[in-house]
Amino acid sequence: MRETGMPRLAIKLKLTIAYDGSRLSGWQTQATGMGVQSLIEKALDDLMPGAKRHQVHGAGRTDAGVHALGMVAHVEVDPKRFRLPLRRAHLALNARLPDDVRVLSVSRADPSFHARYDAKGKQYRYTVWNHSVMNPMMRDFAWHVPKRIDPVAIRAAAKLFVGSHDFRSFAVNHVYHVEDTVRTLHRMEVRKSGPTWTFIIEGDGFLYRMCRGIVGTLVQASHGRYTVDDVREMLAAKNRTAAGMSAPARGLVLWKVIYPRRGEPKPNFVHRRNPRVGRTRSTDPREEAIE
C-alpha cells in the first residue's frame, strides 16, 4: 500500500530502531516533547531535502520513559532522492539523530509490508534491581525494589498469565476505546541473575500499560500482598481496581517485534469506525500496543 504524497514507484524501507526512552515522550509524535517517530521523520527529511514530508509507521507505540531495542517501522521514500547504498543508510540517519535514538538497520521491504499490521506479536522485557542499594548504572533502566522477592511466589503467580485472557484488570484506560481486551501471552518467564530480575513477556498484543500492571502485581505477590488465588481472581474481575500497582516505565524495553516466517500467512485484521473518537480504528488487538 502506497503512502500518501509519495511517487508511484516509491521505495518502501524497513527500519529497526533502538532508543533510550528516559528523556523521550514515547514513540508517537507529540505536540510537546520529543517523540521517536518525529525524530526519525526529521532525520529522513534532512537526508532527502525537497522531498514530500516522510511518514514513519511504527509497529507499536511505546509510552514516555519506555525503551526499545527492536522497534520496527516502515517508510516510503522517493527513489530519485534516496541515492544512498542501503548498507550506509542507517549511518546517515544516525548522524542526524540524537544520541539516545539509533537506527540499527535499514532494508528494502516488500511494497505490501506494514510494520504494524504484519506483526504477529511482540516481546517486552522488564528489569527489576532487587537489592537494598540501587545500582547507579541501572537507575534509568530498572525498577529498584529493595525488599526481597520470593522466587517461588512470583513464578507461581506468573504462570497464570500464559494463554488467552481478558487483561482489563492490568491495563490503564486510554484515549482510544478498545473493543476487544482479550490478549494471548505465549511466554511469561521470570529470570534471576544475582540482584537482577528479568520478566520476559511475549504475546500477540498488549493493552495500555498492561506489561507494567502485570509486573507490579507480581512483585507485590512476591512480597505476600497477594496470593496466587488473588491473582486468578484479578484476571476474572476485568477491572483495573482489582489488581495491583503498575511498575514504573523505566524498567520496560520493547525487545523485539515478531513477524510471520516466509510462507506463513499474515495476521488478519478489520477496520471499524469508532464513534467515540470519530475515526477509523482497527479491531486488531495489536493496534493498541501502547506500553
- Examine residue 265 and state whether it is found in any structural domain, yes or no: no
The mean predicted confidence, pLDDT, of the chain is 89
- Are residue 93 and residue 127 in the same domain, yes or no? no
Per-residue pLDDT of 83-133, as tens digits, reads 889 999 999 999 999 999 999 999 999 999 999 999 999 999 999 999 999
- Are residue 28 and residue 143 in the same domain, yes or no? no
Q: pLDDT band at 173, cuts 50/70/90?
A: confident
- Are residue 142 and residue 111 in the same domain, yes or no? no
- Are residue 226 and residue 108 in the same domain, yes or no? no
- Are residue 128 and residue 187 in the same domain, yes or no? yes
- Are residue 156 and residue 77 in the same domain, yes or no? no
Which residue's entry shows cell 508511484? Answer: 8
| CATH number, domain with residue 145 | 3.30.70.660
- Examine residue 283 and state whether it is found in any structural domain, yes or no: no
Q: pLDDT band at 275, cuts 50/70/90?
A: very low
Q: How many domains does the structure of the chain reveal?
A: 2
- Are residue 141 and residue 54 in the same domain, yes or no? no
In the listed set 95, 116, 137, which residue is the last one of a domain according to the structure? 116
- Are residue 239 and residue 174 in the same domain, yes or no? yes
DSSP string, 18-69: EE-GGGS--SS--SSS--HHHHHHHHHHHHSTTSPPP--EES-BPPTT-EEE
Written as one letter, the residue type at 4 is T
Per-residue pLDDT of 215-265, as tens digits, reads 999 999 999 999 999 999 999 999 999 999 999 999 999 999 999 988 777
Taking the C-alpha atoms of residue 97 and residue 71, their distance in angstroms, rounded to an integer, is: 16
63 is catalytic: yes
- Are residue 107 and residue 150 in the same domain, yes or no? no
Written as one letter, the residue type at 33 is G
- Are residue 24 and residue 112 in the same domain, yes or no? yes
- Examine residue 240 and state whether it is found in any structural domain, yes or no: yes
Catalytic residue (one of 20, 45, 46, 63)? 63
- Examine residue 282 and state whether it is found in any structural domain, yes or no: no
- Collect all residues with Cβ–Cβ distance below 8 Å to 250 and sequence separation of at least 6: 21, 22, 65, 67, 139, 140, 141, 142, 143
Q: Are 60 and 123 in contact (CB under 8 A)?
A: no
pTM, to two decimals: 0.89
- Are residue 111 and residue 239 in the same domain, yes or no? no
- Are residue 129 and residue 208 in the same domain, yes or no? yes
In the listed set 90, 116, 142, which residue is the last one of a domain according to the structure? 116
Give pLDDT, residue 179. Answer: 78
Give pLDDT, residue 17. Answer: 98
In the listed set 116, 138, 172, which residue is the last one of a domain according to the structure? 116
Q: What percent of the chain has pLDDT over 70?
A: 88
Range of the domain at 69: 11-116
Q: pLDDT band at 285, cuts 50/70/90?
A: very low
CA proximity to 222, closest of 150, 146, 274, 128: 150
DSSP string, the chain: -PPTT--TTPEEEEEEEEE-GGGS--SS--SSS--HHHHHHHHHHHHSTTSPPP--EES-BPPTT-EEEEEEEEEEE-TTT--S-HHHHHHHHHTTS-TTEEEEEEEE--TT--TTTT--EEEEEEEEE-SSS--GGGTTTSEE--SPP-HHHHHHHHGGGSEEEE-GGGS---SS--S--EEEEEEEEEEEETTEEEEEEEES---TTHHHHHHHHHHHHHTTSS-HHHHHHHHHH--GGGS-PPPPGGGEEEEEEE-PPTTSPPPP--EEEETTTTEEEE-SGGGG-B-
| CATH number, domain with residue 57 | 3.30.70.580
Long-range contacts at 264-269 (CB < 8 A, ≥ 24 apart): 266/117, 266/118, 266/120, 267/117, 267/118, 267/119, 267/120, 269/117
Give pLDDT, residue 269. Answer: 55
Helices 151-158 and 210-222 sit at what angle, rounded to 10 degrees? 140
- Examine residue 269 and state whether it is found in any structural domain, yes or no: no
